[in-house]
Every structure is written in C-alpha cells, then in structure tokens.
C-alpha cells in the first residue's frame, strides 16, 4: 500500500496549517508582530493579566517556548509583568498600551489571512468545511490512542 498525501487528511491539514501560518505571518509583518506574539496577544485581549502558567495551558505551549516569546514581547513593549495579588510566586502578564492599540489592526490582518483558507468555496460548502474541521479538531483533542 502506498501513502498518497493528496488523499491524507493529516498531510492535507498540515499543508493547510503551514500555508495559513505563512499567510498570517505576511499579514502581521507590517504591524511588527510575529505569529507567536499574535497568538499570545489574542489570549490577553480576551483576558488581560493571566499568569504565564494560564497562558501555557490555554495555548498548549511548552513553558520555555512561551517564556522566550514573552521575553521578546516585553522587550518590544507589548507586555509587562507584575506580581500576582493572590499568589506571590506568580506574575501577571499585562498588555501595554501599544499592545491594546494593535488589537484592531492585528485582528483584521488575521481575518484577512484566515479568509484565504476557504476562499473560493461557496457559502454552504464553507460552513460545512468549518463544521467538519471543528469536529475533527474535537476528535483529536479527545483522542485516547496510547
């Protein structure tokens, strides 16, 4: 049996993810943001002041990866750290004014990049495609394979 990547859900999904990531990076470049920074900002725009641990859990990232991204974001004046009022061992990651001002243009750039994914699909097919992708993602989140 031969592997046909043109008929493989995993291979096609991986290619879509790679192409989307590239489109998103190009869309964010004029704003001076990386994809990684945008992902972190997206969570902080929903809930500012999360701890690094909360961000790690929500984003599914390794602690070291997020720590490096946050260090660059601090350097770029996108976030600040302040002591957590309820836990002296933790710090809250807080948006700066510069990061708050990037919300609308960065979100618009992401929507533009995202629109490329289903471009050319009629409305009904686009809705079916998104519904199916949501179910596939849910299946993989709950995969119990050893």
- Looking at residue 87, what DSSP letter applies? E
What proportion of the chain, given as a percentage, has pLDDT over 90? 78
- Whole-model pTM: value is 0.86
Read off φ and ψ for residue 82, nearest 5 degrees: -140, 155
- Given this model, what pLDDT does residue 6 score? 81
**Mean pLDDT, rounded, for 11-20:** 93
Helix, coil or strand: residue 102: coil
Distance of CA 133 to the CA centre of its chain: 16
Per the listing, tokens 């972190």 go with 40
Q: How many residues does the chain have?
A: 146
């Amino acid at each position: 049996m031969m592997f046909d990547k043109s008929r493989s859900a995993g291979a096609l999904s991986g290619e879509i993810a790679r192409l989307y990531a590239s489109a998103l990076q190009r869309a964010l470049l004029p704003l001076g943001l990386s994809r990684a920074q945008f992902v972190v900002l997206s969570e902080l725009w929903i809930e500012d002041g999360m701890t690094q641990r909360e961000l790690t859990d929500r984003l599914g990232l390794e602690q070291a990866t997020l720590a490096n991204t946050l260090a660059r974001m601090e350097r770029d004046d996108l976030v600040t750290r302040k002591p957590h009022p309820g836990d002296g061992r933790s710090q809250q990651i807080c948006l700066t004014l510069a990061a708050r001002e990037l919300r609308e243009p960065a979100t618009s750039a992401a929507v533009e990049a995202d629109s490329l994914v289903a471009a050319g699909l009629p409305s009904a097919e686009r809705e079916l495609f998104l519904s199916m992708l949501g179910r596939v993602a849910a299946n993989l989140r709950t995969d119990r394979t050893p």
